[in-house]
Amino acid sequence: MRFTSLWAPMGAVALAVAALAPAQAAETKSVAVTAIVEHPALDSVRDGVQAALKAAGFEAGKNLKWQYQSAQGNTGTAAQIARKFIGDKPDAIVAIATPSAQAVVAATKSVPVVFSAVTDPVAAKLVASWEASGTNVTGVSDVLALDKQMELVRQVVPQAKRVGMVYNPGEANSVVVVKELQKLLPTLGMTLVEAAAPRTVDVSSAARSLVGKVDVIYTNTDNNVVSAYEALVKVGQDAKVPLVASDTDSVKRGAIAALGINYRDLGEQTGRMVVRILKGEQPGAIKPEVSTKVELFVNPGAAEKQGVKLSDALVKSAAQVIQ
């Protein structure tokens, strides 16, 4: 330890500072972050984690060894990144999205793992329940309260009876949402009409297949759909089908409204959890969390192009109005 000789004078300072900035760490901690793929939302999570660590006094390059690896969409690489990280024995591994989280959790029972942006960690067997796991795993889910989502759909299109949804049947998170909606919508007097888009290029034709069959198209944070949201917007404008999204970025790209998770906040929430572990808490003692913050974005211009008019109350309640 290079800092040993500094301990005595620093001890006094640390005591004085402790009350103001309890996070000041004297030794270097290490955090390794992996995501299955680069993607604006997932990248925001990563940046949020880093920001939260910095806010707590763990700064990359100073007293924090920070490394980040993306599997670039390949599960074989995700597995190998998991092995590399576990071999490096960091103080915590942050695994973003389901396949990356499963690869890490399958490979270690000892290194603390914090998952993030996993919609259903229980179904993915990362944790046994939503209670503190008692294992080396905890994390933050990006699950959305679907009743709130459908409330928004009704506020945008009050007479909506048939809700269309474009999604990738190969994405675990989206399938969870579809199954939930199939149960929820009938209780609200509405029905779900699905259109599958297994590839990004299928989004446009899937959306077109819904024209005439639905009153509104709702989409979740499906990676394929979000990647090709412009294709959806084109169909929405041409056929006057209103679009409601689940991520606020899509509103800037032409959705009428979205009550979405701010993935940067999700990352910061994850980061605060990492900080607790760096300070000595056991991951198994920390309950998995869900995102606490959702914010409403609306786009009145897009509404007009898609044939609806937003109520003033809705526009007023929005966190941000896109012109």
Question: Footprint of another protein on this chain (CB under 8 A)?
Answer: 38, 67-70, 72-84, 86-89, 98-99, 102-103, 105-107, 123-126, 128, 169-172, 175, 198
> What three-state secondary structure class fits 320?
strand
Cα–Cα distance measured from residue 148 to residue 255, given in angstroms and rounded to the nearest whole number: 17
Question: Which residues are registered as beta bridge partners of 191?
Answer: 162
Question: How far apart are CB 206 and another protein at their closest, in Å?
Answer: 14
User: Which tokens belong to 16?
Assistant: 């004085």
Buried b (16+ CB within 10 A) or exposed e, 35-52: bbbebebbbbbbbbbbeb
Q: Which is nearer to another protein, 110 or 323 (CB)?
A: 110
> What three-state secondary structure class fits 104?
helix
Task: Give the CA-trace dihedral at 261, 265, 271, 276, to 10 degrees.
Answer: -90
Q: Which is nearer to another protein, 14 or 176 (CB)?
A: 176
Q: Which is nearer to another protein, 33 or 258 (CB)?
A: 33
Residue type, 173: N
Give the HSE-up count for residue 310: Cα atoms under 13 Å, Cβ half-sphere: 29
**Complete edge-to-edge strand list for the sheet that includes strand 216-218:** 191-196, 162-167, 216-218, 243-245, 257-261, 294-298, 320-321
Q: Which is nearer to another protein, 220 or 299 (CB)?
A: 220
Q: Which is nearer to another protein, 175 or 195 (CB)?
A: 175
Question: How far apart are CB 118 and another protein at their closest, in Å?
Answer: 10
Q: Which is nearer to another protein, 181 or 259 (CB)?
A: 181
